[in-house]
Amino acid sequence: MAERLFFTVPAECGGMTAKWFLKGRCGLSTRMITRLKREKDGILMDGKILRTVDQVRAGAEIVISLPGEEFSFIEPVEGVLDIVYEDNCLLAVNKPPEMPVHPVKQHQTDTLANIVTWYAAQKGESYVFRTHNRLDRNTSGLVLMAKDKYSVNLLKNQVHKTYLALVHGSLSGEGVIDAPIGLRDGSKIVRCVREDGSPSVTHYRSLFHSTEYSLLSLWLETGRTHQIRCHMSSLGHPLLGDDLYGGSTERIRRQALHCAEMAFSHPVTGERLLLKAPVPEDMERLIPGSAYEVS
């Protein structure tokens, strides 16, 4: 976990107030800055306390000491992680289908959180289990975790995610679904397209289609619960295996949805990262040749 962060003030930022430098160039939220002000040596410039109203000097070294965090207990459970990327700030794994991400009433010890907690302890690390994205239990693919508040704040709205889905029917070309989503009347789970729903936009591109089903690459402008499942069902092309939204489980026993790629800039180094996760066997057997290649 990144406990201390180091920044050098570039020439063009000399004379800028510390508050705006910390927000604009270091990516800290107002809440984080307020908390750092209460910490001993929370923000230093060349070894001296830096107040938010002070001006930063070109070439000076800014050191930020991240405050400790309160942990909610998650029982560590030994398990296997398919790790796609890891460093001292981030952990990305390829989650298999049938695995919940967070513990809930019905799943207390068989979640991704349980295994990550165990894995971190084996490495002598300790951090809050904090995910950038949350996949449904039956959705497979990339889950990105930040090991500190700083990283998770910088990742917000910065990660471009690409999904793969198998849908019923023949669908070719590409398109945009711009339709608001809300809860279906009388349900606490199922979503539907409705005029009074939250704005929701889904982009799709067909990679393969037959008379029975099609393979789509999708990315979202918004991140509503069940957005892809709901939008595709509204088009008359529900996901294979998604019986909650009108799909059949004849060919696959869970919704055929996979988070295949993530592209983003590393929150600390700025390095551009492209993470990929191959589709699991239950979807791959339905896809001809290399049709599922996204890039």
b/e map of 110-126 (b: 16 or more CB within 10 Å)? ebbbbbbbbbbeeeeee
User: Is 142 within 8 Å of 259 (Cβ atoms)?
Assistant: yes
DSSP-based three-state secondary structure for 150: helix
DSSP-based three-state secondary structure for 105: coil
Q: Concatenated DSSP letters for 8-53?
A: E--GGGTT-BHHHHHHHTS---HHHHHHHHHSTT-EEETTEE--TT
Number of neighbouring beta carbons within 10 Å of residue 4: 10
User: Is 134 within 8 Å of 101 (Cβ atoms)?
Assistant: yes
Identified catalytic residue from 110, 136, 148, 185: 136
Number of neighbouring beta carbons within 10 Å of residue 35: 15
User: Is 228 within 8 Å of 181 (Cβ atoms)?
Assistant: no
Give yes or no: 196 in active site.
no
Calculate the CA dihedral of residues 134, 254, 259, 291 and round it to 10 degrees: -170
Among all residues, which ones are annotated catalytic? 136
